[in-house]
Amino acid sequence: MAESARVRFAPSPTGELHLGNVRTALFNWLFARHHNGSFILRIEDTDVARSSEEAERAILEGLRWLGIDWDEGPGKEGSLGPYHQSDRLAIYRSHATRLLDSGLAYHCYCSSERLEEMRREQRRRGRPPRYDRRCRALTDADREGYESEGTEPVIRFMTPRQGETSFRDLLRGEISFANDTLDDFVIMKSDGYPTYHLASVVDDHLMEVSHVLRADDWIPSSPRHVLLYRAFGWDPPHFVHLPLILDKAGGKLSKRQGDVSVADYKQNGYLPEALVNYLALLGWSPGDTQEILSAEDLIDRFTWDRISVSPAVFDLERLNWFNRWYIRHLPVDRMAHAVAPYLREAYGREEQSEDTAYSPAEWLKLLVDNVREEVDSLGQIPAHVAFAFIDELAYTGEAAEAMRAPAAGEVLAAFVDKVRSLEILDIAAANTVLQNLRALLKERRNLGAREVMFPIRAGLTGSVHGPNLAAVIALLGRDRCIRRVTQLQSSFSR
RNA sequence: GCCCCCAUCGUCUAGUGGACUAGGACACCACCCUUUCAAGGUGGCGACGCGGAUUCGAAUUCCGCUGGGGGCACCA
């Protein structure tokens, strides 16, 4: 590819940033970065009723969070802007007029009621729903009549009745459509805004887009776009249609079954690098067995010819695996920073370090470092560390059983003794305590490791599962450990 | 209904006529490790949709079928 790579992501701000859209954005971005080209962000806000600034903000925020940056677009006006289609209406109008003047487009005054009725009838007769081109044959008198009634027309493209229109998809080769399966589609709406077809073709040309990477479901529209390029006398860009992302049920990924918006994943504690890594591998592969790929790796290795053509099912389990990997490998201070908001939300505070051997920051890091291996996402962390924030423990059945063990009382008493004798209870000291306790009780009562560890863990946390026990002890600190166990002992003796 | 796209383990995929008793990853199962859970290690389960054709030889090429998906708006 000798020519420069200019690609774009062109979302319409009508809702959340959808995973499918993100994947499209990601592939475009990787393509641009790999080829040292440009990645353009264009906001397709031509649907006045559905577009909102809030949705646009969410999209920009989502992209930024994922690290997908743009070279031209909102906040980065380049020479080929503006990058909101609503700011380009004059451009579309003049181009529509050009087609009108050259007889390749015409005004259509048909009401939406008539069009709906027409389509209903066509479907009823088992015919494909298509515009019947009635307004192609309007006389000047007809037109004047409509105009005097105040009817605002749309502008339709005059699609050839005969022949076929084909285009080359880089991955699939030649795809052709018989022109009679296309109809005279609308290019300008009656509110003066262009439709997607016109706007995207005009913009892609004017913004000098070299490659259009977009989702599969655009294939049926592509011949219309090719027709428009030709009508304007332009060369179409290269097309690469990306396979759709399907849900578990095999349909197009949509709301209702699970989270589909990036904001949801962000909120639930998925790391951007995990999402990027997972999404990059949905419909693309590096060609070897490497699974963990950083953004740099992806940029380095991304080429369009390794994009697959068959649809891919979104698999949360696999995303979770990537997220777990990145959670485990993130530097601990970054992890602490990322986890803090979740703790604050759940407990109103992000640490509980008073009366421990640690500073607040150290305490948080110790906590995070010891719990990170147990969760799929950051959002699950608060539930795993309740023992460190809440003193009223709810004991699980297993925990109660562990404390009912014959030696449990003796184990806990010995534990409190050891802890009481300490000045500083950090993780090293806690480990020493546990080691000594094991040796002592092995000698005295021939107890195994579990018989020692389980009652202590259960008494301290209310559960027999959880982070490393020495860490638990260090996180609670000397006084809380003693308090929890003695409370337990008094309730037993009652 | 019409048009278009797609088809390898349950899922993501490698594979571009012979190196395929089809490789890797997720999930699942077993074992090991172990201070619980997890992580890690080892092993296991598990796929070329069907039928023709081309070829000495097809997962790989061609045709048909079947199946799945998408599109058919003054939404993108």
In 3D, which of A142, A140, A136 has the Cα closest to residue A160? A136
Q: Which of residues 285-314 of A touch strand B (CB under 7 A)?
A: 285, 287-289, 291, 305-306, 308-313
Q: Which residue is nearest to nucleotide B74 (CA to C1')?
A: A189
How far is it, in rounded angstroms, from Cα A410 to Cα A453? 12
Judge whether A205 and A272 are in contact, CB under 8 Å: no
Burial class from Cβ neighbours inside 10 Å (0-12, 13-18, 19+) for residue A363 reads buried
Q: What is the pLDDT of residues A348-388, one digit of tens each?
A: 999 999 889 999 999 999 999 999 999 999 999 999 999 99
Q: Which nucleotides of B are covered by protein (CB under 7 A)?
A: 1-8, 10-16, 23-27, 34-40, 68-76
How far is it, in rounded angstroms, from Cα A93 to Cα A90? 5
By three-state DSSP, how is residue A12 classified? coil
A448 touches strand B (CB under 7 A): no
Q: What is the pLDDT of residues A160-190, one digit of tens each?
A: 999 999 999 999 999 999 999 999 999 999 9
The conformation of residue A392, written as its DSSP 8-state character, comes to S
What is the CA A174 to C1' B17 distance in angstroms? Answer: 24
Structure-block tokens of residue A390: 């809440």
pLDDT at A257 over 70: no
How far is it, in rounded angstroms, from Cα A249 to Cα A345? 34
Q: Which of residues 7-66 of A touch strand B (CB under 7 A)?
A: 10-12, 14, 44, 46-47, 50
| Band (A308; pLDDT cuts 50, 70, 90) | very high
Q: What is the pLDDT of residues A315-324, one digit of tens each?
A: 999 999 999 9
Question: In the prediction, which pLDDT does A2 show?
Answer: 44
Residue with tokens 């009745």: A161
Residue with tokens 């490998």: A329
Judge whether A191 and A201 are in contact, CB under 8 Å: no
A216 touches strand B (CB under 7 A): yes
Q: What is the DSSP string of A295-328?
A: HHHHHHH--GGGB-SS-EE--HHHHHHHHHHHHH
Q: What is the pLDDT of residues A96-126, one digit of tens each?
A: 999 999 999 999 999 999 999 999 999 988 8
Q: Which of residues 354-373 of A touch strand B (CB under 7 A)?
A: 373
Q: Which nucleotide is nearest to A372 (CA to C1')?
A: B38
How far is it, in rounded angstroms, from Cα A434 to Cα A343? 28
The phi-psi region of residue A448 (left if phi > 0; otherwise alpha if psi is between -120 and 50; otherwise beta) is beta
Please state, rounded to an integer, the average pLDDT across all residues of chain A. Answer: 94
How far is it, in rounded angstroms, from Cα A95 to Cα A198? 9
Q: Is A255 an active-site residue?
A: yes
Query: Residue range A210-223: average pLDDT?
Result: 97
Please list the residues that pair with A40 across neighbouring strands: A8, A72
Among candidate residues A189, A252, A255, A365, the one labeled active-site is: A255
How far is it, in rounded angstroms, from Cα A313 to Cα A439? 53
- The rounded radius of gyration (Å) of the Cα atoms in chain A is 32
What's the residue count for chain A? 494
The conformation of residue A232, written as its DSSP 8-state character, comes to H
pLDDT at A494 over 60: no
What is the CA A309 to C1' B21 distance in angstroms? Answer: 29
How far is it, in rounded angstroms, from Cα A64 to Cα A15? 17
Q: Which of residues 251-270 of A touch strand B (CB under 7 A)?
A: 251-252
Question: In the prediction, which pLDDT does A493 show?
Answer: 55
pLDDT at A1 over 50: no
In 3D, which of A150, A192, A214 has the Cα closest to residue A47? A192
Half-sphere exposure of A120 (CA within 13 A, CB side): 6
Domains of chain A: 6-85+246-313 (3.40.50.620), 88-242 (3.40.50.620), 330-388 (1.10.8.70), 397-489 (1.10.10.350)
